[in-house]
Amino acid sequence: MEARDPELRRELDATLQARSELGPEYESALIDSFLEKVEQRFAGTHDQRTRRLLAEQQMAAARGPAQPARPCGTFGERFGFGVVSLVLAVPLSAIGVANAGIDGLVVAWLGIFGVNAVHAARAWPWARGRRRTSSDWDG
């Protein structure tokens, strides 16, 4: 077994050496002394971790709340999606009319409308359960 704390390992070795020199009548006192050192080491490590965690929490609070994830993207991404769908609407309309006449045109535009409606619905504040903030409009 490899010691994680070399100083405690040395303390244990010294305690065992003292026990062999002093005999079993001092065993209880030696064990108590060693356990007290272990407890002090643990308390010091625990205090350091607690202070570090507290400092991290204070830094996070000072930075402010984390920005919520926006699944619908920025305004620019939504605008780009709309432009791309309209650009693709031209050939889709032509294919629909060429193959099925006015019915094909209606089906193509219903599909385009459906895709854009679903994409736009992701940006609605009531659909996400939160109010829109000014940062939602930043792009």
What is the predicted pLDDT for the residue at 1?
Answer: 46
What is the predicted pLDDT for the residue at 127?
Answer: 56
Inter-CA distances, 2 with 6, 25, 41, 111, Å: 9, 29, 18, 66
**Residue 8 near residue 38 (C-beta atoms within 8 A):** yes
CA nearest 130: which of 47, 72, 48, 64?
72
In the chain, domain spans: 6-63, 75-137
Low-confidence ranges of the chain (pLDDT < 50): 1, 139
What is the predicted pLDDT for the residue at 13?
Answer: 87
The structure's pTM equals: 0.40
Inter-CA distances, 1 with 5, 85, 102, Å: 12, 65, 81
The residue count of the chain comes to 139
* Residue at 114: amino acid letter: G
